[in-house]
Homo-oligomer: A and B are copies of this chain.
């Protein structure tokens, strides 16, 4: 987390530097530069269609004008706001956590699926399927209090490094999406995360990294239990699934937590399709945005056949219904915030 703050600090400094050195430009050039709300997006039909939509629905003279309380924008997280390869980052967290907890669980050296994790044998781990993953999640995410779990997540983010980039996971957020969030908020949209990931895995860092308050994060959850605890109340995290915020769960979660249909929905996989359809059914003019992972060099390229973040039916439906699809390779000038500094 400190690294992230550090980088954001550097970006701020860099922005100041850029604005100070831009005095040599003509006034009109400066104006154009200053008014581009999406500087990390290449010019093209995706960028134009986003800006045209926002201009239209915030224009009180337009028939498509949307009142501020209805400006609800929902964003998937994994693969949409930050990378999700070579595996969901929350899975890396769970694996690291299994290794940390292994000292207290000598039986894991013999018991699957824990043995596979300790042996770094992902192929073996995958044999245990969804049930095996749930065992891993429950062993690593439950059995503590909400306060304890928050510290565990924060500590992990402060030290863990992504295997390819050797950087904190929170460095791998998408700079163009950060700009999109800022742009929508500047136009009085209320931005939400609607993710299949764990709600309490995300909350410790999304506020700092995305500028999205904790109460605007919707995710999958396990059951909890309030305990008076002799006057020092706690909330215990139980080894039982409460809600899966994926596929049909996304519109259900949006209805439960937000109570209003989004006008702007952004995702990257078939797991987001129901959320997209939900937004598309809004009587107000809505905008559906898919991220298509097409950049095998700067990020990863995957879609119809990927086990992680499969985009197949969603891509067909987006094409058929004219939803906007980001071609990551073509549409994004930079992917990660750290590229700004390295340039």
Contacts and interface: CB of A to CB of B under 8 A. Distances in A.
A252 interface: yes
A240 interface: no
Given A199-B256, A258-B214, A260-B214, A274 B190 contact: no
Contacts of A235: 251-252, 255
A296 B277 CA distance: 52
Q: How many copies does the complex hold?
A: 2
A281 B215 contact: no
A14 B192 CA distance: 38
B190 A215 contact: yes
A281 B258 CA distance: 27
A165 interface: no
Contacts of A258: 214-215
Interface string A135-149: 000000000001000
A208 to B, nearest CB: 10
Interface in A253-292: 255-260, 274, 277-278, 281
A213 interface: yes
Contacts of A200: 259
A257 B253 CA distance: 11
Most buried by B among A225, A252, A274: A252
Interface of A: 69, 72, 146, 190, 192, 199-200, 203, 207, 213-217, 221, 224-226, 228, 231-233, 235, 248-249, 251-252, 255-260, 274, 277-278, 281
Given A277-B233, A278-B226, A213 B252 contact: no
Q: Which of A72, A214, A215, A251 is the most central at the interface, judged by chain B CB atoms within 10 Å of its CB?
A: A215
Contact of A259 (B72, B217, B226, B274): B217
A75 to B, nearest CB: 15
Contacts of A278: 226, 233
Contacts of A213: 69, 190
Which among A146, A225, A226, A260 has the greatest number of chain B C-beta atoms within 10 A?
Answer: A226
Given A69-B207, A215-B216, A233-B251, A224 B256 contact: yes
* Shortest Cβ-Cβ A-B pairs, 10 listed: A214-B259, A226-B248, A215-B258, A203-B259, A226-B251, A233-B281, A235-B255, A226-B252, A233-B277, A224-B252
A224 B259 CA distance: 12
A224 B255 contact: yes
A233 to B, nearest CB: 5
A209 B325 CA distance: 40
Contacts of A214: 69, 258-260
Contacts of A199: 256, 259
A126 to B, nearest CB: 29
A279 to B, nearest CB: 10
Contacts of A277: 228, 231, 233
Contacts of A259: 199-200, 203, 214-215, 217
Contacts of A226: 248-249, 251-252, 274, 278
A331 to B, nearest CB: 28
